[in-house]
Structure 1
Amino acid sequence: MGHSKITGALDLFRLLAALLVVAVHTSPLYTMDETADFVLTRIIGRFAVPFFIMVTGYFLYTAIAKRDNAYIKGFVLKIGTIYLISIILFLPINFYSGYFGEKFLWGDLIKDILFDGTFYHLWYLPAMILGVFLVTVGIQRFGFTISFLVAILLYGIGLLGDSYYGIVQQTDILTSFYDMIFTLFEYTRNGLFFIPIYLLLGMAISKSNNRLSTKQIVTGLVISSVLLLIEGLLLNSLSWQRHDSMYILLVPCMYFLFLFSLQLPGKNSKTLRDLSLIIYLIHPWMIVLVRGFAKVIDQEQLFIYNNFIHYLIVSFLSLFAGWILTKFSPKGRKRKIDLLPDNRAWVEIDLAALRHNAKELQRILPSHCQLMPVVKANAYGHGDVAIARELMRAGLKMFAVATLAEGVRLRQNGIKGDILILGYTNPKELASLEKYQLIQTVVDFPYALMLNQYPKKVRVHIKIDTGMHRLGVNVENLAEIEKVFECKNLKVEGMFSHLSTADSLADEDVRFTQKQIQQFNQMIDLLKAKGYHTGKLHIQGSYGILNYPDLVCDYARPGIALYGVLSADDKIRASVHLKPVLSLKARIALIKEIQPGEVISYGRQFTAKSNMKIATVTIGYADGIPRRLYENNAYVMLHSKRAPIIGRICMDQLMIDVSHIHEVENNDVVTIIGVDGTEQIRCEDIARQSGTITNEILSGLGPRLDYVYLD
């Protein structure tokens, strides 16, 4: 799912957090000064894991708020897979350390797997799974505010079992209560008490537009950090700490630190994200290897007992191993994505959403009915070759286009399987059908006769007109349909029709659709009774699938629905969750201050009523933006805020009001269609405001746009 967010320096900070975790487990300053090491590893080092958690919350909030449970399920499954791999990775060390020795208990193993982790740093993974589950249920059932209050309460309980355990030991009731807790968990630093507060803190930042200035953020970070330092040192001096992962002041510290990281310049970097995760997971192995090597060469004093050098070597080896894995892993080599940072306007295509939609549509169809993706009109503006290639990788083997040129283009770019041309092909070009192994539609009986004159076999599907009266042999003219079968040079491989009102659930339209289906089926039954082999049958387009999914056919032809969009805000019968595949973005070219009474764009249709700050965006109607869009209070998204379109849209630019967006700068990215923070502009919204349908908006995207394919 494309839950796009402002990233700032988040990925860089994640890498720093991973190196802090290494410091926590190697105590680099211990041989120099124990207090300094305590400050570094037991206070500053405690920033690391909450930062990881907040990043997850920051990006996961949109999915939770929109009840995109398929995305959340996929995220949890991914964490579970990583956890399983990590358990296996550390089994040799578990055996070596005596984990499975004489005192081994299966109950302890189950507890470790579910809550504490089977190795000392792996607790984070099951904790994240539990935390995400609790927060998702909490927000979706009780709302964000109640969930946050409950998380604060749970964190308070966790504090008393962690850094404030000294208070617990002063009363028998609390001691008994926490003894019971510690029979279930080894620590309160877990998915129940520790994870929810930081997930929700990240989500709070995600759902709200930050109004704090950089100066306020830095001031808050400095003050809360100083107070955290005092808190940690005081608790240590009082010997209250059972563990030292949870502090009161850590919460505001993390809030300001996260905001600070978003303020810094930075780019979304999958490499840094993967590197951070790998360092976190494998650094204990690096510790073991360094210690083993030091013993072999008899240099324990230098490489082990000199903690600072020990830390540097472990960090270097972890970084190097992570670089090797990210650089040369098959996944890393699979597809490089050019994010085109300098282009004026572009389309982003979410290939994961495309695959999800294909699976969703296939799910609601009978098992024997296969998808025939319609990739005509440049795959509804999504890029025909790239879309067909991705669907081919996903196992789909038949595609539909509108024209011969579209079919040839797919073949020339390596698309395999069958390709059906839904429209008319000039008989003079029939040699190309043979050359590129394309299937032609018989649009009526006279056309069948023309096709039959070609001296070689022509593969065809017969189009049946059941009431739309666009293309096809009339369903009531059975004699003509039979004559098509008798054409010696036509190899009939299928028959199909099209439902003209399947998108409507009005009674009259439903009756018309049912009549079309009935006539088609009756005609097929008559042909079969006469011994004709009708081949593969298909009658459902997108709305045929969504409103009549149980029809008995061999293929279904999803078009607009495959791309996660409906033609309009239509009601449908099927319970299906589709994700928009396409986002449309452009950049700010320049920013101007204008005075009251000044006018904007052609025709002086917009007059400023007060001082305004406006921005020119590098996209216009030549790129597919409807010229009349400005008439209906349309807007774009900039820095997760709505920016109204003002004045007539030009061929190459449009203007927006950014008076309320103080952080706007030249070259900033503007979202015309897609998600920005917790806000979303749907293609359906653009179509409605323009008085048209989404099919026209998407297929009308201009050839000047660049395409970026994200996976």
Structure 2
Amino acid sequence: MSNAGETVLEIDLKALEHNYQYLKTKIKSNTKFLGVVKAFAYGSDSVAIAKKLEALGADYLAVAYTSEGVALREAGIKMPILVLHPQQISFATMIEKSLEPSLYSLAIFTAFIETANKLGESEYPIHLKFNTGLNRIGFEKKDIDLIVDHLKQNNAIALRSIFSHLAASEDLEEKAFTLRQIHRFEEISKDLETKLGYMPLRHLLNTSGIINYANAQYDMVRSGIGIYGFGNEASEDKKLRPVASLKTIISQIHTIEAKDTVGYNRAFTAEKTTVTATLPLGHADGLGRQYGNKVGQVLIHGKLAPIIGNVCMDMVMIDITDIPCKEGDEVIVFGKENTADWLATSANTISYELLTGISQRVKRIYIE
């Protein structure tokens, strides 16, 4: 599909389906699948992705914040939605929209119980996040006695799942650390089950965990970057298909002479006669300044063109001296071949940052 003369983010829903089905082959048929659609579905379109995952039969969605879940409910998404990092101020809204909180500290746990009681709830589903080594948010094993007391004393809530998050599941040099995390989660699970009298759903694995530690899949797995086409290692990337492609066009072509400069702060100086193209895309669209000055490259007619000078807010300049092209021609910033991971690596960052940074002013178009 052509970008029809503007900067667009092309979202390939067939690629999403391929990735979902591929990741499902890594787990047992009865293991539930949670698709992570936070941050506008990793910079794409959370509503379109959520609707597709719902149609594919995924069991859960996850967002980071309540407002993201509200947007999905208002778009008609009916499936269960886990809110990974809710704040106390949004608890009443969560309940109103049937969003399920991840509770990660005693303060946030008791505050949610108070809200649920105040609103007259009965067995409202909650999830408990345990810290097993990432040291970001989460309960500790020592909190279990108090957690169990609260659960037994309050019928306003019902424990739907417990989970944790692996810190380095993509790095096999950190295998010993990951196995320790899995062991800690196992200990927490058993202690909670003994004291509670039943075992809730358990989930631990992220995308790299699904690929590298499938024996720890428990009752559900969570995939974010994987469903968008990246497996955090080259061999897996080949089996997945990038969902998002960022495309733009050439607005204007210039021929400049030796010693002429390009862009703000005159950051590029031509060593010889040089042909440049200006693109309608800049750091306000998500192409950060770190990609300037020949760090990043874009694709025109199958050939790579380096970004020259500083990336501007709404424009970027590239060197097309050796590439036959004309104004209006399509430029691929990242896509199926020169992927977001490839471009991000050139600037010493990760695909997650590049993808989630794509501005909402970039038009989204869809391939079904």
TM-score range (shorter-chain normalised) is over 0.9
- Return the index of the structure with the highest Cα Rg: 1
Q: Which residue of structure 1 lines up, in the alignment, with residue 162 of structure 2?
A: 495
Q: Secondary structure at the match of 1:485?
A: helix
Using the alignment, how far apart are the partners of 1:481 and 1:632 within structure 2?
Answer: 54
Which is strand-richer, 1 or 2?
Answer: 2
Using the alignment, how far apart are the partners of 1:367 and 1:576 within structure 2?
Answer: 24
Q: Which residue of structure 2 lines up, in the alignment, with residue 504 of structure 1?
A: 171
1:337-391 per-position Cα deviation (integer Å, ceiling 9, x unaligned) = xx6523x211001111100000010101122212100000000011100001011
**TM value normalised by structure 1:** 0.49
**Structure 1 residue 556 and structure 2 residue 213: aligned?**
no
Q: Secondary structure at the match of 1:473?
A: coil
For residue 692 of structure 1, the aligned residue among 340, 349, 356 is 349
Structure 2 vs 1, CA of residues 447 and 633 (structure 1 numbering), >3 Å: closer, same or farther? Answer: closer
RMSD of equivalent CA atoms: 1.8
Structure 2 vs 1, CA of residues 442 and 487 (structure 1 numbering), >3 Å: closer, same or farther? Answer: farther
For residue 145 of structure 2, the aligned residue among 473, 479, 488 is 479
8 A contact 2:268–2:308 mirrored in 1 = yes
Structure 2 vs 1, CA of residues 482 and 631 (structure 1 numbering), >3 Å: closer, same or farther? Answer: farther
For residue 539 of structure 1, the aligned residue among 201, 204, 209 is 204
Q: Which residue of structure 2 lines up, in the alignment, with residue 341 of structure 1?
A: 4
Q: Which residue of structure 1 lines up, in the alignment, with residue 111 of structure 2?
A: 450
8 A contact 1:346–1:584 mirrored in 2 = yes
Q: Secondary structure at the match of 1:560?
A: coil
8 A contact 2:285–2:362 mirrored in 1 = yes
**Structure 1 residue 380 and structure 2 residue 52: aligned?**
no
1:276-328 per-position Cα deviation (integer Å, ceiling 9, x unaligned) = xxxxxxxxxxxxxxxxxxxxxxxxxxxxxxxxxxxxxxxxxxxxxxxxxxxxx
- 1:478 CA displacement: 2.7
Regions of 4+ moved over 6 Å: none
1:642-676 per-position Cα deviation (integer Å, ceiling 9, x unaligned) = 112111111111111111222x121111000014x
Q: Which residue of structure 2 lines up, in the alignment, with residue 212 of structure 1?
A: none
1:246-288 per-position Cα deviation (integer Å, ceiling 9, x unaligned) = xxxxxxxxxxxxxxxxxxxxxx6xxxxxxxxxxxxxxxxxxxx
Structure 2 vs 1, CA of residues 668 and 384 (structure 1 numbering), >3 Å: closer, same or farther? Answer: same
8 A contact 1:473–1:480 mirrored in 2 = no
- 1:445 CA displacement: 1.4
8 A contact 1:445–1:484 mirrored in 2 = no
Using the alignment, how far apart are the partners of 1:387 and 1:684 within structure 2?
Answer: 20
Using the alignment, how far apart are the partners of 2:106 and 2:48 within structure 1?
Answer: 35
1:491-526 per-position Cα deviation (integer Å, ceiling 9, x unaligned) = 2111111011112110xx211111111111122122
Q: Which has the higher contact order (CA 8 A, sep 6+)?
A: 2
8 A contact 1:361–1:576 mirrored in 2 = no
Q: Secondary structure at the match of 1:368?
A: coil
8 A contact 1:589–1:616 mirrored in 2 = yes
8 A contact 1:621–1:649 mirrored in 2 = yes
8 A contact 2:148–2:195 mirrored in 1 = no
Identity %: 32
8 A contact 2:230–2:237 mirrored in 1 = no
Which is helix-richer, 1 or 2?
Answer: 1
1:539-578 per-position Cα deviation (integer Å, ceiling 9, x unaligned) = 11111112111224111110111101245xx367x79811
**Structure 1 residue 468 and structure 2 residue 134: aligned?**
yes
- The count of aligned residue pairs is 362
- 1:446 CA displacement: 1.8
Q: Which residue of structure 2 lines up, in the alignment, with residue 674 of structure 1?
A: 335
Using the alignment, how far apart are the partners of 2:242 and 2:320 within structure 1?
Answer: 27
**Structure 1 residue 529 and structure 2 residue 191: aligned?**
no
8 A contact 2:39–2:356 mirrored in 1 = yes
Aligned counterparts, 1:73-84, within 5 A? none
Q: Secondary structure at the match of 2:249?
A: strand
8 A contact 1:597–1:608 mirrored in 2 = yes
Letter in 2 for 1:549: A
Q: Secondary structure at the match of 2:208?
A: helix
Aligned counterparts, 1:158-307, within 5 A? none
Structure 2 vs 1, CA of residues 560 and 600 (structure 1 numbering), >3 Å: closer, same or farther? Answer: same
For residue 422 of structure 1, the aligned residue among 64, 68, 84 is 84
Using the alignment, how far apart are the partners of 2:243 and 2:165 within structure 1?
Answer: 25
Letter in 2 for 1:498: H
Question: Is there any run of 5+ residues in structure 1 with no aligned partner, and where?
Answer: 1-267, 269-338
Using the alignment, how far apart are the partners of 1:382 and 1:656 within structure 2?
Answer: 25
